[in-house]
């Protein structure tokens, strides 16, 4: 979780292995949902997806097998379509 929070605070890209697939994301928010599960919402810009390719993804942190900061890979600001009032994450630990 610390890696994800650090990435959000620094606007740094992450490589995550989620459900066994490597993905490159720009993490925007991480926190807890009403059901008690922890999630990260990020914009996937690379890697593999088992659903609809790149774009906004919500990931249950329990299903992330690995998260690693991409050295010297930053995004300048939140994406313009990012919504701070996330419909799933009700308590945010970190947000861009």
**Total number of domains constituting the chain:** 1
pLDDT tens per residue across span 12-57:
999 999 999 999 999 999 999 999 999 999 999 999 987 778 999 9
* Residue 63 contacts residue 48 (beta carbons within 8 Å): no
Which of 73, 59, 65, 63 has the alpha carbon at shortest distance from 29? Answer: 59
Quick check: 78 pLDDT over 80? yes
How much is the pLDDT for 46? 95
Share of the chain above pLDDT 90, in %: 92
Residue 79 has pLDDT above 90, yes or no: yes
| The pLDDT of residue 75 is above 90 | yes
Q: What is the CATH number of the domain that holds 87?
A: 2.30.30
């Amino acid at each position: 979780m610390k890696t994800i929070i650090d990435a959000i605070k620094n606007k740094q890209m992450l490589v995550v292995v989620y459900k066994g697939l490597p993905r490159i994301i720009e993490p925007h928010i991480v926190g807890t949902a009403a059901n008690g599960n922890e999630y990260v919402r990020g914009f996937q810009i690379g890697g593999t997806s088992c659903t609809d390719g790149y774009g906004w993804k919500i990931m249950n942190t329990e299903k992330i097998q690995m998260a690693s900061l991409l050295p010297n890979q930053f995004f300048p600001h939140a994406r313009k379509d990012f919504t701070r009032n996330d419909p799933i994450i009700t308590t945010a630990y970190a947000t861009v």
